[in-house]
Amino acid sequence: MKIRSVKINNRKKTFEIKTYSKIFSFPYSKADPTPTSSDPPVEVAVDKEIGREGFTYVLESGTEGTVHIEQVLEYNQDPGYLRDLLLYRLTVEAQHRVEASTLSKREMIRRLGTSAAQFYRLLDQTNYRKSVDQVLNLLHVLDCDIDLIVRAKSA
Amino acid sequence: MVATYLSHGLATTPPRHVHVYRDGVLVVKWDLENQLPMRGEPSQRVRSLIEELKFEGLI
């Protein structure tokens, strides 16, 4: 996700980040180095070195810091970002289970009722176009019990 | 020119990972815990650069 613009809001003590689809805020307290009232940010700009996927700020003391868009997405609990993260973790787990399984890959493919190409796409951790549902099916084929725990977020 | 950006792994974002950019384009998002690409496909040179940075304790 590319950043279009970023602004300093010293009153709210946040950075205001505008992307092509959404506007996010990111509190100073989550940035490192942390801007303070005695050392506030005086400059901020979208960082082109990291493909406009982050921004760099300069504090009054001259110290520089960089924030990546993923930190912003995580802080704002962006659903798309969290979904990709979940998919990645499930895929890596599925890869370990496939390696450890006594089932042959041919049998896994047969039980999934899919093609070999689709099976390998499911196991590709860089592929975010598959659904969580498909990876769950694969884990079921691998005789895994999947418990879904929904809990309130701690403060 | 290669720029790296290390995610410091905020509380809910395992795994710890690093982004590698070349000329403003993402080359790879590399999972430091599982040694796997999360996005992109790194060349052998990028892999060895990541290994060097790890060895030097910079990431």
Calculate the CA A125 to chain-centre distance. 13
Residues in chain A within 8 Å Cβ distance of B36: 92, 125
A113 and A137, same domain (yes or no): yes
Backbone angle region of A36, left / alpha / beta, with phi > 0 → left and psi within -120 to 50 → alpha:
beta
- Under an 8 A CB cutoff, do A49 and B21 touch? yes
**Are the Cβ atoms of B39 and A68 closer than 8 angstroms?**
no
Q: Tell me: do A71 and A83 sit in the same domain.
A: no
Q: What does the pLDDT profile of chain B (59 residues) look like in tens digits?
A: 456 555 544 434 668 899 999 888 999 999 999 999 999 999 999 999 988 988 888 87
pLDDT tens for each residue of A76-113 = 999 999 999 999 999 999 999 999 999 999 999 999 99
ipTM, two decimals, is 0.84
Residues A67 and A83 occupy one common structural domain: no
Contact state of B24 with A50 under an 8 Å Cβ cutoff = yes
User: pTM of whole model > 0.90?
Assistant: no
Residue of A nearest to B10 (CA): A71
- Identify whether A154 is part of a domain: no
Domain enclosing residue A54, as ranges: 3-75
Q: Which of A75, A95, A110 finishes a domain?
A: A75
| Count of domains for chain A | 2
Q: Which of A11, A1, A12, A54 is nearest to A32 (CA)?
A: A54
Domain map (residue ranges) of chain B: 2-7+14-55
Answer whether A66 touches B (CB < 8 Å).
yes
- Residue pair B37/B31 in contact (Cβ under 8 Å)? The answer is yes
